[in-house]
């Protein structure tokens, strides 16, 4: 596949065939279009500034699947959640070869993944109001349905427990706490409307990004999004920052650094927020004005990776920004680049 360079500085070049062993790299999960089976996995090698645009298919001789939504690295494996294929594709992080496929039974619409240890992994099932538990080593199913709230999306591990965002696609406002030793929901925490993403910060607290809700009959009655800080030790809300619709719109995706700050996509660009002393502070001035789709923070290099999904039908770009928001480089990924993970 040809590589188009929409270049600024130091544009990456297309690599020669044959990648060899990868020790460090950045994986970009490209969702592709619903029912077209055209998800791809791009691999960017910062050291050599090369991009492998569809590394999964190139290595394994078959497409990744339909609507790949998430990727989690664990040990020497990468676990890619392929939502509409109802699968979790597992690759070796050394050579990108498939080491197996976990098929989520039925059509539950697996969405986001959390791996607790080498024998327990949980995936949220967007339209089944459940988690499915499997062994990430043997890829055998452990429990098909652990009931959580409505339309579970983001999931994170903190303080030995799983925290599941129940968005209800705009109608729910809860986070379900699941004890992985019992595989039971043990608590429910009320947060802002439509929680969709959750991540643990350096202090062990959880930042929950809530999208707010849409009122399709009267947009003036939309509810705003919010950022909520949770204490997983006591399962309580520490603080909430409401994101006024007029300033931020309904927030898009979020990325959280281990260094006490994060970003989310707002209507005027990528917004930075800081987490300290149990509070979240949002800078109302955009960090960059890109209308970003996916976001990820490379803590090692202090870089922000943001994706531009463009028109959602042609390959999107990944743009790398420095600490001051300056663009360092950009490269083309696949269609709807959404999730970015770093192999170090």
Partner 1 sequence: MKRIALLTLVFLTVSRAQVSEPASDSTVAATGHAREFSLPEIVVSATRWGIDARHLPSSATVLSSVDLQKGSGTTLASALEGVPSLFVKSYGGPGAVSTTSIRGMGAEHTLVLIDGQRYNNIRDGQVDFGIFLLNGVDRVEILRGGYSSLYGSDALGGVINIVTKRPDGRGHVSAEASAGSYGMNGQALGAEFGLGDVGFRLAARRESGKGDFEFRFHNGTGSMLLRRSNGDFSINQLQAFADYSPSDDLKINLSNIYSSSDRGSPGAVLSPSTTSRARLSDDDLLSQLSVEWAIDPSLLLKVGSSYDYEARTYSDPGLNIAGDALESRYNSRTLLVTPHLRYVIAPAAKLTLGAELGHSIIWSNEVNDAVRDQRSVFLSTEHLFDIPHNFPYQISLFSSLRYDDFSDVVGEVSPKVGFNIGLLRSPNLHIRSSFGRSFHAPTFYDLYWKSGGNPKLHAERSTSFDAGLLLTVDVLGPLDLELNYFDIDTRDRIVWTPRADGLWSPKNLQRVKSAGLEVIAGWRLLSDRLQLHASYTHSKAKKVSRDGPNDLTADKQLIYLPLESASFSASLHFPRWSLNVVHSYTGFRYVTETNDPHFILPAFQKTDLNLLCTILAGSVSVRTKLEILNVFNSDYQVFPGFPMPLRTYALNLKLEY
Which residues here bind partner 1, judged by CB under 8 A?
Answer: 1, 4, 6, 33, 35-38, 54, 57, 60-63, 65-66, 84-87, 103-107, 109, 127-129, 150-151, 168-172, 211, 214, 216-217, 249-250, 252, 267, 291, 309-315, 335
Q: Which is nearer to partner 1, 121 or 157 (CB)?
A: 121
Contact status, residue 313 vs residue 38, Cβ threshold 8 Å = no
| Smallest distance, partner 1 to C-beta of residue 235, A | 23
| Smallest distance, partner 1 to C-beta of residue 31, A | 13
| Smallest distance, partner 1 to C-beta of residue 80, A | 14
Q: Which is nearer to partner 1, 88 or 157 (CB)?
A: 88
Look at the chain and count its residues.
344
| Smallest distance, partner 1 to C-beta of residue 64, A | 9
Contact status, residue 4 vs residue 12, Cβ threshold 8 Å = no
Q: Which is nearer to partner 1, 38 or 307 (CB)?
A: 38
Between strands 315-321 and 206-210, the pairing is unpaired
Q: Which is nearer to partner 1, 9 or 216 (CB)?
A: 216
Q: Which is nearer to partner 1, 292 or 296 (CB)?
A: 292
Q: Which is nearer to partner 1, 267 or 343 (CB)?
A: 267
| Smallest distance, partner 1 to C-beta of residue 204, A | 30
Q: Which is nearer to partner 1, 136 or 266 (CB)?
A: 266
| Smallest distance, partner 1 to C-beta of residue 95, A | 17
| Smallest distance, partner 1 to C-beta of residue 249, A | 5
């Amino acid at each position: 596949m040809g590589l188009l360079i929409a270049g600024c500085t130091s544009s990456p070049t297309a690599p020669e065939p044959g990648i060899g062993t990868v020790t460090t790299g950045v994986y970009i999960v490209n969702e592709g279009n619903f029912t077209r089976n055209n998800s791809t996995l791009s691999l960017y090698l910062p050291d050599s500034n090369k991009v492998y645009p569809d590394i999964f298919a190139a290595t394994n001789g078959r497409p990744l699947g339909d609507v790949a939504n998430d990727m989690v690295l664990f040990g020497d494996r990468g676990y890619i959640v392929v939502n509409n294929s109802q699968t979790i594709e597992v690759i070796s992080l050394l050579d990108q070869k498939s080491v197996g496929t976990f098929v989520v039974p039925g059509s539950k619409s697996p969405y986001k993944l959390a791996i607790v240890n080498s024998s327990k992994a949980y995936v949220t099932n967007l339209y089944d109001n459940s988690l499915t538990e499997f062994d990430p080593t043997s890829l055998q199913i452990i429990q098909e349905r652990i009931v959580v709230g409505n339309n579970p999306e983001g999931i994170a591990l903190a303080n030995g427990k799983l925290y599941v965002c129940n968005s209800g696609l705009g109608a729910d406002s809860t986070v379900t706490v699941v004890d992985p030793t019992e595989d039971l929901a043990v608590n429910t925490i009320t947060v802002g409307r439509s929680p969709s993403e959750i991540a643990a910060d350096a202090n062990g607290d959880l930042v929950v990004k809530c999208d707010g809700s849409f009122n399709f009959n009267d947009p003036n009655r939309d509810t705003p999004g919010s950022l909520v800080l949770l204490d997983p030790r006591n399962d309580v809300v520490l603080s909430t920052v409401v994101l006024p619709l007029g300033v931020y719109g309904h927030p898009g995706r979020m990325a959280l650094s281990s260094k006490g700050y994060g970003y989310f996509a707002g209507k005027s660009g990528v917004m930075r927020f800081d987490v300290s002393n149990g509070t979240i502070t949002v800078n109302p001035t955009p960090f960059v004005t890109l209308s970003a789709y996916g976001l990820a923070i490379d803590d090692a290099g202090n870089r922000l990776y943001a994706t531009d999904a463009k028109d959602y039908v042609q390959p999107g770009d990944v743009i790398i920004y420095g600490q001051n928001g300056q663009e360092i480089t950009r490269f083309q990924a696949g269609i709807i680049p959404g999730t970015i993970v770093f192999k170090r």
